[in-house]
Structure 1
Amino acid sequence: MEAKSTYNLRLLGLEIVGIIVGLLFLVPFYFVIVNSMKTFGEILINSSSLPSSLNFSNYVKVWDIMKFPKAFLNSLLITVFSNLGLVVISSMAAYRLVRRPSRFNNLVFLAFVAAMVIPFQSIMIPLVRVASEVGLMDSIPGLVVCYFGFGVSLNVFLYHGFIKSIPMEIEESATVDGCTPYGVFWKIVFPLLKPMTVTIILLNSLWIWNDFLLPMLVLNSPDLRTIPLTTYSFFGQYTKQWDLALAALVLGVLPIVIFFLAMQRHIIEGITAGSVKG
């Protein structure tokens, strides 16, 4: 009989260190939430203290100034349609690269992997020029297309590893039963990709929802601004409205935090499953 692991001082020390590190990561959230309920004067006097009273007037002002429902809708549309396109394009591309191995497909996959290490700042000026030439500037569909280009590399990489774990015999059986190649993918393979699909949607949503630089470059009209762009409007050249800006941050982050907490268990499940190869 194997000896059971005992709780010792080493494990206790690791737990204490883990708790301290966790608390350190929560400190910024404390400052944001607490100071979002204070007046500007209270923030300047003592930003670390609790508010004297629960004051939600900042949230009411921000809701009107930001036109929050409009900004929320813009962010939601961009995130949803970007995710839909990335999932469809990336899953089909990865399936083709895995199931039709060739020197050309291997080079294509290497190109996807290499594209992951290219920093956005090095290509943002050419991106703006190209987007302007093809009519993608200042439109939500144009921004979604840009996200297709930047997100497809990582998505193909993740799907590529996951599809390798799916037995070929399942697809061969479906083909023998008369299923077309597209039917094999959409009816057999794609449902098996659910853990990785959920993981990719979560990672893409966190990135796209909170992204600031790409929407700032592509979107110019005030009516098309996302939540990060509208939040930036509280930081001017001479004044910084910290009381309103922090309330705006809470409103902007809250939806994606709720979504992440509800779906986070699928991240480890999807990545772990993708690491197992058949």
Structure 2
Amino acid sequence: MTTEKIERIEAKVDSSPQRLLPQKPLRAGGYTAGLGLVELVAILLGLLYLVPFYYVIVNSFKSIAEIYTNTSALPSVWLASNYTEAWEAMNYGRVFLNSLLITAGANLLIVLFTSMAAWKLVRTKHWISTVIFFLFVAAMVIPFQSIMIPLVKVSSLLGLLNSHWGLMVMYLGFGSGISVFLYHGFMKSIPEEIEEAAIIDGCSTWGVFWRIVFPLLKPITVTIVILNSLWIWNDFLLPSLVLRDIELRTIPLATFYFFGQYTKQWDLALAGLVLGIVPLLVFFFGMQKHIIKGITSGSIK
């Protein structure tokens, strides 16, 4: 019987040799004219988006007369003094710390409160949770200009005007909609069994969230922090309504003071814009690996 089995196996192998041969990998298509056209269009679009940066950076090194003469040409003399004058006129060290404090504080409040709110809304299976979630989403479509006057009146009654703390609280309100929406969608991918196992092991509800759930939210938390930082750092309208003292000004407010009623100091204003953009670019590129990690983590889930 053993010999017969061996002969049968050999017969099967001989009759289907293609099973033993390695499969040839599929070759990718060659470089076609269509692919080259797509790459050319992508390069042109990239250059188009870089045009505003070119004008801002190049003209920040020119004199005011040269800016009015030809904005597109390179400066005949690169004036680094524009940056030193803008630094002193803006009191850049002070306004940078103000912007950093407001951005970091507002992000901290937004992450803490909206992550807990989204977790409770996801895990509470009730129609009230659905209604509250849609109220958060609906708040995103309300134009800020329509609530400016009531906001200032209510903030004045609550003592939130002319303070960094009051401005952070307002940013918490305006940033809650998109943050709850993003957290809510991400938390649906976290299995409830993980939380149930932690509760069985004796973990409290507070401990389940901060020890189990919140560490798993790191990818979406990084995304939310980046989105809110871009908005809060560059915001001009809300700080202009809330902050009155010069010592409390942010970078956008300090840059605005280069534009007077009768004069516009474009040379210093453009240098101030660059000084305001650089920290945000450093932050963005520093968090780039976390952005990519968050995207890939979300795609795997």
Class of the TM-score when normalised by the shorter of the 2 chains: over 0.9
Residue 91 of structure 1: CA displacement?
Answer: 0.4
Question: 1:248 is matched with which residue?
Answer: 272
Conserved 8 A contact 1:162-1:275: no
Cα deviation per residue 1:139-195 (whole Å; 9 max; x = unaligned)? 100000000000011000000011111111111111111111110100011000000
Question: 2:247 is matched with which residue?
Answer: 223
Question: 1:63 is matched with which residue?
Answer: 87
Conserved 8 A contact 1:202-1:260: yes
Question: 1:154 is matched with which residue?
Answer: 178
Question: 1:90 is matched with which residue?
Answer: 114
C-alpha distance 272-95 of structure 1, shift in aligned 2 (>3 A): farther
C-alpha distance 110-271 of structure 1, shift in aligned 2 (>3 A): farther
Question: 1:34 is matched with which residue?
Answer: 58
- One-letter code of the match for 1:44? Y
- One-letter code of the match for 1:48? S
Query: Highest Rg: 1 or 2?
Result: 2
SS in 1 for 2:39: helix
User: C-alpha distance in 1, partners of 2:71/2:55?
Assistant: 7
Unaligned runs of 5+ in 1: none
SS in 1 for 2:264: coil
User: C-alpha distance in 1, partners of 2:94/2:75?
Assistant: 30
TM-score (normalizing by structure 1)? 0.96
SS in 2 for 1:12: helix
Match of 2:201 among 153, 160, 177: 177
TM-score (normalizing by structure 2)? 0.89
Match of 1:80 among 101, 104, 111: 104
Question: 2:224 is matched with which residue?
Answer: 200
Q: Does 1:19 align with 2:53?
A: no
Conserved 8 A contact 1:36-1:58: yes
Q: Does 1:139 align with 2:163?
A: yes
- One-letter code of the match for 2:56? V
Identity %: 61
Question: 1:123 is matched with which residue?
Answer: 147
Question: 1:5 is matched with which residue?
Answer: 29
SS in 1 for 2:114: helix
SS in 2 for 1:123: helix
User: C-alpha distance in 2, partners of 1:112/1:201?
Assistant: 18
Aligned residue pairs total 277
Residue 133 of structure 1: CA displacement?
Answer: 1.1
User: C-alpha distance in 2, partners of 1:10/1:273?
Assistant: 32
Match of 2:72 among 48, 57, 77: 48
Question: 2:130 is matched with which residue?
Answer: 106
Conserved 8 A contact 1:162-1:276: no
User: C-alpha distance in 2, partners of 1:180/1:10?
Assistant: 59
Worse overlay, 229-238 or 42-51 = 42-51
- One-letter code of the match for 2:41? V
SS in 2 for 1:132: helix
User: C-alpha distance in 2, partners of 1:275/1:18?
Assistant: 24
- One-letter code of the match for 1:42? E
- One-letter code of the match for 2:193? E
Unaligned runs of 5+ in 2: 1-24
C-alpha distance 110-268 of structure 1, shift in aligned 2 (>3 A): farther
- One-letter code of the match for 2:169? V
Conserved 8 A contact 1:83-1:201: yes
- One-letter code of the match for 2:80? F
- One-letter code of the match for 1:215? P
SS in 2 for 1:14: helix
